[in-house]
Chains A and B, each alone.
Chain A
Amino acid sequence: MKIRTMKLLVKEGTNNVIKNKLMSFASIMTVVATLFFLGIILLIAINITSNIEAMKRDLEVTVFLNVNVTNYQRAEVLSYIESKKEAGIISEYRIETKEEMYQNIKESLNDDTLLEGFSVENTAESFYIKLVDPNSSDEIISQISRFEGVNNNNGIGYGKDELDKLEGILKIFNYIIMAILIVLMIISVFLISNTIRLTVFARRHQIEIMKYVGALDSFIRWPFIVEGLLIGFMGAVLSFFLTSQAYQWLQGVINVILTNLKLSTLRIMEFSPVAIRMFIIYSIFGMVIGGIGSLLSVRKHLNV
């Protein structure tokens, strides 16, 4: 296609949007609503995933030694942990001595009478291990539990299973949301195709003339596609603006609530790091919705 023809077709499409103000506005608003919903869901998903990842990184494998562990048994466990650290499987670990544990228990009970008959000698030393990859926990736990000095009754603690379950539920939740989104997109495609059908109808005369003079299908189709793309893009820009405003407001509110609930490990992410990605997603989705909508409405009129 020649450049002057492209100019002409883009101009025609833009004129369609301007001439058809009310319907264009209605279509842009459907795109805004669809993308706003899409964006909020995406942002929720991004936040949940990043929080779960952060929680996983903070997870520690807790290994309790037996109360009467021998020095040899203790050294065995320690050298195992050291070797795994060198192999890059364990990122860091810390040791809680008997005294520290006694103090911790004392503090948490806050009542010395309950500690009668309970001394530092009754407590056990423990290791807190952080893993590079949380998914390697099963292997580490099974290996470490084989050491004689490790107290298997008190168990080796790790919260990964709970997080995995949570993730599983969230996955199902994601599928449901995706289904809703697809339905929403289909609805907006039809709304846009109806809008453009009106312009097509208003210009059926012109389309007919164009065909008799020998216009290529693409020549007839492009102004309407331009119209659809433009509606989609304008909806995307508007929706992006609304989403970013709403998100930034919500982010502040929710972060305050989380801090007050002492859940400060959970954070709502900043908008700016994802802004460009969100804008690209919005533009692509908006223009795809608009483009498909317009293709649907012109198709019928080309078969002469």
Chain B
Amino acid sequence: MIRFVDATKVYSNGVVGLKNLTLRIEKGEFVFIIGPSGSGKSTFLKLIMHEEVPTEGEVYVNGYSVHDMPHSEIPYLRRSLGVVFQDFRLLPNKTAYENVAFAMQIVEATSREIRRQVPLALGLVGLSKKAKAYPDQLSGGEQQRVVLARALVNNPAVLIADEPTGNLDPKTSIEIMNLLEEINQRGTTVVVATHEKSIVDAMKKRVVTLEHGEIKSDVKKGSYFDEN
């Protein structure tokens, strides 16, 4: 599903993002990527999305060779991924429904498919009643649910979340995490980068700890301080 083989990323300013990272994430897994700022979490996610390419080594995602792929294939790689950001990134001039539908329009879905899939996705994240609300009429947690619906509506094989609870209060964070777990149980591989230890500790999932661009520990059913 996701495979890093000896992947190294050195940015043009000399900063090392990742150093000889080898890692395998199987289909249907739920993985936390943790570590302090600058540990390589963001680089790891960027390589998966082809926002960056590795300087050395290989990265495979959903059958695509990210380290060596033509520009024209990037959109198709991204269609196999659902992405959730800390800062939501919703379109302010579109309603919750339209924001989710937009993701389907982009991949040229039929309007019939859109009419069927969007309510399902909004229902899954528990926002059916707020379909007509604009992002500024929604709370942070609700906005993140819309983002989740948008990420899921095209049925991606992998869901990637970069600090999905970074802007949310603890209670809402747990709700979002439960939602991610539910999505995972439906068969979607979920990769979450975070540095919120309470969440990691509560979830009892696989935890990959990064430091200085290298894997410090990789524990099944781990917690934030397993390395100690």
Contacts and interface: CB of A to CB of B under 8 A. Distances in A.
B205 interface: no
A212 B79 CA distance: 8
A253 interface: no
Contact of A216 (B75, B105, B110, B111): B75
A304 B51 contact: yes
Given A4-B111, A205-B89, A214 B75 contact: yes
Nearest to B78: A214
Contact of A5 (B51, B78, B108, B150): B108
B109 to A, nearest CB: 9
A213 B89 contact: no
Interface in A20-41: none
Is chain A's interface secondary structure helix, strand, loop, or mixed overall? helix
A208 B83 CA distance: 12
A209 B101 CA distance: 13
A214 B107 contact: yes
B106 A215 contact: yes
Which 6 A-B pairs give the minimum distances between C-beta atoms? A214-B79, A214-B78, A215-B106, A214-B75, A213-B103, A212-B83
Contacts, number: 50
Nearest to B77: A214
A209 B91 contact: yes
B76 interface: yes
Contact of B75 (A205, A208, A215): A215
Given A211-B75, A213-B107, 12 more contacts: A1-B108, A2-B108, A4-B108, A205-B89, A213-B79, A213-B102, A213-B154, A214-B81, A214-B107, A215-B106, A217-B71, A219-B106
Given A205-B91, A215-B75, A216-B75, A210 B108 contact: no
B105 A8 contact: yes
Interface string B40-84: 000000000101000000000000000000011001111111010
Interface in B106-149: 106-108, 110-111
A2 B109 CA distance: 10
B226 to A, nearest CB: 31
A206 interface: yes
A4 B105 CA distance: 9
Interface in A193-218: 205-206, 208-217
A61 to B, nearest CB: 67
A155 B134 CA distance: 91
A22 B109 CA distance: 35
Contacts of B102: 209, 213
A92 B81 CA distance: 83
Contacts of A217: 71-72, 75
A219 B79 CA distance: 14
- Residue from the set B49, B78, B111 with the largest chain A CB neighbour count within 10 Å: B78
Nearest to A2: B108
18 contacts: A4-B110, A4-B111, A5-B105, A206-B91, A209-B89, A211-B78, A212-B78, A213-B106, A213-B107, A214-B77, A214-B78, A214-B79, A214-B80, A214-B81, A214-B107, A215-B107, A217-B71, A304-B51
A155 to B, nearest CB: 73
A206 B89 CA distance: 8
A210 B79 CA distance: 11
Contacts of A209: 89, 91, 102
A2 B107 CA distance: 11
A217 B72 CA distance: 8
A141 to B, nearest CB: 67
A214 B96 CA distance: 19
A4 B112 CA distance: 12
A54 B72 CA distance: 57
